């Protein structure tokens, strides 16, 4: 598919074998993409191909299989580099997931650079993975953790951000897109504010990199973390991007094979970037499959992916407006909003909504979405969430709305709704 064309959703859906199955006698309507995306045949087959044809360790062998595995593994790193417009492959570090990428920064750069009295700034919209490491760091270092609040319309309060980022700030940690509200944060503005006071900025791109064009150099971010499984790739593989000059000054986090340059019985020295941060046998097959997922998305064109999701989200916002007992969290308009709709019901618990919808073959997310402080700030303890991707359609939005109406009728007859 040419990047200059709109998405052919029917052809895309044909690439995803799971979308043909039925759940509880109904066609699967998969609307839990913010948690994990489904995988196309091309990605699935790349895993089979690796294990059947050239399964071997990388960087350590001179035989054919090892050479082929190493080339495919490093080729995938190059694809990720191009996908986010990183300045070099040395700035792309393979991790297990977004959480590990964020923790890597907390336990290396931040451990070495944050001291007593310093400030760490994050936002009210963060996933636990971008809150808890900074809470723990602040306690270890006697530093201060500051939170940029959410506005009444579900945006980040940029006026408060300007006041909270001070000369004492050492790091700003922010989501690029909220996994609960769908809000797209102005990362460039936060990066400029951070750099103006000599701080660095770390971006959680788990919800943005799969869905929109992302250019780490244009965003001016120092670090960005994301996971493959949310962007058509396999689980268990993630990425940390870091500015090479910053990574070069960071100590290793884990020690072992391949991250060393030289070892004696008395001491050791560290390998070059990015291998310094990739101790032990890496997740070779899943890294290669991540490269295939990148190929798939680039063939679609990320501008087209974003346009498609914006169209579906705008349609979903109009349909949700019909539901008087449903309360949407976050922005109710499409501007600076991704394909995530979290909501609560006036009287039906989100888990009951999710269970009832599952009986209709509809997969959504329920709970606090690993963002408990954010959910509780909306005076609820749990929310339902529908999230869309390249293979979702407006017809599936209709299925969801009809399912919610049917669910409400059921609970109303039971005297609950």
Q: Which residue in the block uniquely carries the two structure tokens 């044809």?
A: 53
Please check the confidence at residue 3 and state whether its pLDDT lies above 50: no
Residues in Cβ contact with 23 at an 8 Å cutoff, skipping those fewer than 6 apart = 358, 361, 363
Please check the confidence at residue 192 and state whether its pLDDT lies above 70: yes
How far apart CA 227 and CA 375 sit, in angstroms, is 23
How far apart CA 414 and CA 295 sit, in angstroms, is 50
**Overall pTM > 0.85:** yes
Q: Of 94-103, 275-284, 321-330, 406-415, which range is least confident?
A: 406-415
Residue 218 CA, distance from chain mean position: 19
- Convert the pLDDT of each residue in 316-363 to its tens digit: 999 999 999 999 999 999 999 999 999 999 999 999 999 999 999 999
Mean pLDDT, residues 299-318:
98
CATH code for residues 44-298: 3.40.640.10
Confidence of residue 417 (pLDDT cuts 50, 70, 90): low
Residue 221 bears catalytic tag: no
- Convert the pLDDT of each residue in 309-329 to its tens digit: 999 999 999 999 999 999 999
pLDDT at site 60: 81
Mean pLDDT, residues 111-135:
97
The ranges assigned to domains in the chain are 9-36+301-413, 44-298
Q: What are the angstrom distances between the C-alpha of 334 and each of 183, 340, 378? A: 9, 11, 20
Please check the confidence at residue 85 and state whether its pLDDT lies above 70: yes
pLDDT at site 145: 98
pLDDT at site 5: 54
DSSP secondary structure string, 295-341?
Answer: HHHHHH-HHHHHHHHHHHHHHHHHHHTT-TTEEE-S-SSSTTB-SEE
CATH code for residues 9-36+301-413: 3.90.1150.10
How far apart CA 97 and CA 101 sit, in angstroms, is 6
Q: Which of 370, 384, 390, 400 is catalytic?
A: 370
Residue 270 CA, distance from chain mean position: 30
pLDDT at site 222: 98
Mean pLDDT, residues 70-85:
98
């Amino acid at each position: 598919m040419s990047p200059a064309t709109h998405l052919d959703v029917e052809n895309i859906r044909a690439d995803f074998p799971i979308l043909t199955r039925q759940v509880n006698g109904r066609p699967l309507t998969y609307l839990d993409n913010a948690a994990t995306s489904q995988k196309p045949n091309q990605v699935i087959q790349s895993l089979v191909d690796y294990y059947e044809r050239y399964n071997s360790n990388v960087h350590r062998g001179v035989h054919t299989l090892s050479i082929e595995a190493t080339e495919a593994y490093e080729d995938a790193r190059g694809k990720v580099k191009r996908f986010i417009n990183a300045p070099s492959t040395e700035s792309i570090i393979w991790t297990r997931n977004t959480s590990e990428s964020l923790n890597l920064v907390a336990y290396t750069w931040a451990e070495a650079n944050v001291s007593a009295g310093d400030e760490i700034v994050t936002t009210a919209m963060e996933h636990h993975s971008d809150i808890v490491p900074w809470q723990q760091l602040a306690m270890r270092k006697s530093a201060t953790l500051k939170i940029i609040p959410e506005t009444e319309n579900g945006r980040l309060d940029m006026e408060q951000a300007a006041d909270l980022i001070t000369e004492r700030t050492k790091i700003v940690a922010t989501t690029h897109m909220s996994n609960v509200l769908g809000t797209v944060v102005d990362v460039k503005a936060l990066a400029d504010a951070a750099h103006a006071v000599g701080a660095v900025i770390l971006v959680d791109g788990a919800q943005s990199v799969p869905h929109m064009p992302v250019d780490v150099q244009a965003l001016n971010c120092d670090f960005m973390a994301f996971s493959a499984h949310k962007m058509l790739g396999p689980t268990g593989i993630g990425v940390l991007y870091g500015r090479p000059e910053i990574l070069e000054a960071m100590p290793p986090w884990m020690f072992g094979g391949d991250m060393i340059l030289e070892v004696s019985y008395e001491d050791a020295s560290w390998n070059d970037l990015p291998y310094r941060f990739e101790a032990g046998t890496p997740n070779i097959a899943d890294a290669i499959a991540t490269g295939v997922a990148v190929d798939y998305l680039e063939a679609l064109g990320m501008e087209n992916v974003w346009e498609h999701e914006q169209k579906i989200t705008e349609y979903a916002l109009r349909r949700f407006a019909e539901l008087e007992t449903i309360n949407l969290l976050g922005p109710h308009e499409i501007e600076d909003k991704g394909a995530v709709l979290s909501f609560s019901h006036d009287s039906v618990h989100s888990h009951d909504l999710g269970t009832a919808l599952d009986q209709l073959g509809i997969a959504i997310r329920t709970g606090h979405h690993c963002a408990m402080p954010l959910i509780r700030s909306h005076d609820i303890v749990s929310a339902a969430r529908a999230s869309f991707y390249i293979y979702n359609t407006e017809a599936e939005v209709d299925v969801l709305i009809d399912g919610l109406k049917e669910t409400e009728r059921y609970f109303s007859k039971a005297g609950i709704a």
